[in-house]
Structure 1
Amino acid sequence: MDAYDAIVVGSGPNGFAAAILLQQQGLKTLLMEGADTLGGGMRTKELTLPGFKHDICSAVHPMALASPFLSSLPLEQHGLKFIYAPYEVAHPIDPKHAAILHRDLKHTAELLGKDSRAYQTLFQPFVDQWEELANDILGPLRIPRNPLLMAKFGLKALPSTSSIAKTFKTEEAKALWAGLCAHGIQPLDNLTTAAVGMVLGTIGHRYGWPMIQGGSQALADALASLFRAIGGEVQTGIWLEDMAQLPKHRVLLLDLTPKQLLAIKGLNLRSGYRNQLSRYRQGMGVFKMDWALSDPIPFHNPEVGKASTVHLGGTLEEIASAEYLTGLGRIPDRPYVLLSQQSVFDPSRAPEGKQTAWAYCHVPHGSTADCSQIIENQIERFAPGFKDTILARHSFNTQQMESYNPNYVGGDINGGLMDLGQLYTRPNFSLTPYRTSNSKVYLTSSSTPPGGGVHGMCGFHAARIALADHFQIKVTL
């Protein structure tokens, strides 16, 4: 077999980022994927009916634009096209009233009335200076480039969602804030749950929350096209179970979770490091649904139909209650539902005159409960007549999600619980958590900082460190 400078296992956004960076620096790099198609969470398939394209996991991509590495790549030259809805996020509080997140921060704030100043004050400094923050937020613990700005961000990001919500007076502002933070998939009273809301809100006002024309698979295809164009090699259909399966190589980068690392034979990890990995904590899971629809979702408030992403959960108190119950291992009757209606803005997703919809709710880790009814009931609550538009449906419980993509352990799409103990110290406490106890093996997955999201920064940092350790190549952004 041919010898490689580097092998990257796993073709999610982090695997691709690592492979592209290594190949850009002149290393002969092989990207290996266990599935028959590339992409990890960036896959699109006809899950319901022929001609209806559904994103398996990631559906809306604000982090791709905000990522210092992915945004530096000429992916539009490889067929990537972003699509924007009129509104970034809609959050109905009841059938008639909704909070709307526009890309324009000032306009969003004005719509919040009494909370206009508080909302704008929360986000404005970081919207204006995102580029100065991005490398510090989307990376490991280190001395920040702008310590004062990072300290200001930390004061907003480290508290709980509920704590920051106390600065708002209106139900609209509180609910919009709760919907952003609930992407973190944990109870909203937990410390650091404000971090996800701060990042997603800031990015929404800086770049928007775009979709990708044709589906998330188009992002994977563009990354693959770029990687091959610069000389990278790709193999699919090979699940790594034993190091003996690999060609000769100098370094190995794994876009895998700690659970998967521990299962690989011949990896030669020290017992102390293995013990640390075995204590890594996974978060709650998701129950995912896709629909083929006869018509657009008939939201009672037509403004909600103009947003690519819709947060369905009602008030802050309702969302907090649902996330709290899920954290206790229970399934609420009215869950927080994250919904996307891509085909309204991207006709390539469905046959002419038809629509698709994508949604998930949070469930206890590893749950096999069927949440189809409670998700559809929650949509129907804000869109009477929704169920009448359903032509076909498809669902994944947490175990089916993991079977489809082993990185989603127990349905955990964030690569591990992102609480105070694991926000940056993942999968172990280290200033270079991408290194393993085997000096030739690196971890590139979302189980390293900065965690979940289609940004590729976990892979970038792992590759950056491997380049410095073994090839004396220093890379910065």
Structure 2
Amino acid sequence: MVVGGGHHGLVAANVLADAGWDVCVLEASDAVGGAVRSAELHPGFTADLYSAFHPLAHASPVLRAMELDRHGLRWAHAPAVLAHLLGPDDERVAVLHRDRERTAAGLDEHAAGDGEAWLALCRQWDVIGGPVLRSLFAAFPPVRGPVDLLRRIGTAEALRLVRFLLLPTTRMGEELFRGEAARLLLAGNAMHADVPPTAPGSGVLGWLLAMLGQQYGFPAPVGGAGALAAALARRATAGGAEILTGQRVARIDVEGGRATAVHTDAGLTVHARRAVVADVSAPSLYGDLLPADAVPPRLRADLERFAWDTPVLKLNWALDRPIPWRAGAAAGAGTVHLGADAAGLVRWDADLETGTLPASPFLLLGQMTTTDPTRSPAGTESAWAYTHLPRGVPDAAAADELAGRVDAVLEAHAPGFSAAVVSRVVQRPGDLEAADANLVHGAVNGGTAQLFQQLVFRPVPGFARATTPVQGLYLGSASAHPGGGVHGICGWVAARAALADHGALGPVRRRVRAAATGLVYGERRSAR
């Protein structure tokens, strides 16, 4: 039994079906995918409603090994991975290409020596990237990744690496590079999460995404993000899983300390013979779906301090022409960062942390037709941008005011942008949550990515594993380790824990371990 048909729930369904279990997925919405969905918001224009670019999916050994190309998934890349605009009146752009030499050459034009510094960072990634990803993409606590890492770099370098990984992105950029362009490639990527640029651990987020972009690019599914979820669903049903949409789970029965059944608002009851994997937020699972006496008081108290990431405001545009960037080098980038330089990112984050609506918001923008020409007619552009609101601000009025400021930032960097818009759809935080209950208050990462709620602290101290206090119940959402992003690891870890608890991991242990190390996931089973 899988509660929730987001991509983590679909991954769990695939893993359990591959092991020969009977699997039923219950999804509240009318379609699977959770925050991996797309729609035609304007005739002929496909928009990604939530996630759009998926470097973590390309790096994820679990998703790679599921061979979703056999189930219709194809990937597209923009000519350039991303661009960070230095300012509205500055035509210089920091550009990340999949060719590291080309990236380095561009950075050297901004500041002599930064190109070689970038190549040195890439060489460091060549050595430690694999073990770092194995540590990230594994059940907690990870063992093999850290052991491999120590073997490669030695204990003498381990402390230096730990220090490096704990650096704020502002400090990391200052230590590595002379010029602002290279520093912004790290800082802008760090802002894909909600960790302040001056906070410990923000640097590793920027470094990780920048290196993933350098190695894998920022690919997007051809036809829309929903194509990724659809491929996962097709693979699961081909393996025997049943997927039911329009079935919002209302409660989970617990008898004798064990999860025994799931009830939906529509009156459906499904009995759980072996396990329930919950692809829902931790506060929802423990606060709404379970009986109060099934949740230990300490866990309930800890969840009262669960911190969501900052709310997202997203705008979607259908444009009758490509975006008329003042800085022409931004035209070929799939992802564009704009609205703040290094100092501006600190000011923008300070506004968010102090409850102030940013006067000049930092934007993460996607040029989807530039990336995937199927998204809109030739000569047009399907584009989106998102930014953040402070926590706790009134939703609609503040969101609409901030949306106007987003338009102003774009017009400053691309004069004539507003004249090219034929359709504009705003997704406020409340809209995001209404469409996907896991996006509480418009938070898209399943809870803050700051250090106090990561690793052993996610979702709360002492519950970093997928197992829960209820036997046969497993948390498999972004509220669990390793957290937000489209990678499928949370669902995979939960499914693996369920198999282990029922003595079913043995026959598939080699395949599961292979997935964790990036090898072949295993043959499709021929019979149930």
For the Cα contact (< 8 Å) 1:106–1:120, is it kept in 2? yes
Q: How many residues get paired?
A: 470
Unaligned runs of at least 5 residues, structure 1? 1-6
Secondary structure of the residue aligned to 2:191 is helix
For the Cα contact (< 8 Å) 2:165–2:201, is it kept in 1? yes
Superposed, 1:211-290 pairs within 5 Å as 211-243=220-252, 244-245=262-263, 246-249=269-272, 250-261=274-285, 262-266=287-291, 268-290=294-316
Higher Cα Rg, which structure: 2
2:171 aligns to what? 163
Which one-letter code corresponds to 2:416 in the other structure?
Answer: G
Change (3 A) 1:340 1:102: same
Please, what TM-score do these two structures have when normalized by structure 2? 0.85
Change (3 A) 1:145 1:10: farther
Residue-by-residue CA offset, 1:118-151 (whole Å, 9 max, x unaligned): 3233342224553333120233233323242584
Change (3 A) 1:176 1:312: same
Percent identity at matched positions? 34
1:381 aligns to what? 412
1:132 aligns to what? 131
Q: CA RMSD in A?
A: 1.8
2:103 aligns to what? 108
1:405 aligns to what? 436
Residue among 23, 26, 29 paired with 1:35? 29
For the Cα contact (< 8 Å) 1:297–1:305, is it kept in 2? yes
Residue-by-residue CA offset, 1:376-422 (whole Å, 9 max, x unaligned): 11112211111110111011111211111111111111111111111
d(CA) in 1 for partners of 2:3, 2:100: 40
2:523 aligns to what? none
Change (3 A) 1:315 1:284: same
d(CA) in 2 for partners of 1:391, 1:127: 45
d(CA) in 2 for partners of 1:142, 1:318: 36
- Shift of the alpha carbon at 1:63? 0.9
Secondary structure of the residue aligned to 1:403 is helix
d(CA) in 2 for partners of 1:408, 1:220: 17
Change (3 A) 1:432 1:320: closer
d(CA) in 1 for partners of 2:223, 2:2: 27
Deviates more, 1:74-83 or 1:350-359: 350-359
For the Cα contact (< 8 Å) 1:296–1:355, is it kept in 2? yes
Superposed, 1:138-157 pairs within 5 Å as 138-139=137-138, 140-143=140-143, 144-148=146-150, 151=158, 154-157=162-165
Which one-letter code corresponds to 2:86 in the other structure?
Answer: I
1:92 aligns to what? 85
Residue-by-residue CA offset, 1:344-398 (whole Å, 9 max, x unaligned): 2323212344321111001112541122111111112211111110111011111
Change (3 A) 1:154 1:21: farther
For the Cα contact (< 8 Å) 1:401–1:408, is it kept in 2? yes
Unaligned runs of at least 5 residues, structure 2? 253-261, 264-268, 517-528
- Shift of the alpha carbon at 1:432? 4.3
Residue among 7, 12, 23 paired with 2:17? 23
d(CA) in 2 for partners of 1:331, 1:296: 29
Residue-by-residue CA offset, 1:161-206 (whole Å, 9 max, x unaligned): 1111212211211222210111112321111111211211111111
Bigger proportion of residues as helix: 2
Residue-by-residue CA offset, 1:210-233 (whole Å, 9 max, x unaligned): 111110000011111111111111
Change (3 A) 1:107 1:63: same
For the Cα contact (< 8 Å) 1:186–1:284, is it kept in 2? no
- Shift of the alpha carbon at 1:76? 0.7
Secondary structure of the residue aligned to 1:401 is helix
d(CA) in 2 for partners of 1:26, 1:187: 44
d(CA) in 2 for partners of 1:70, 1:340: 23
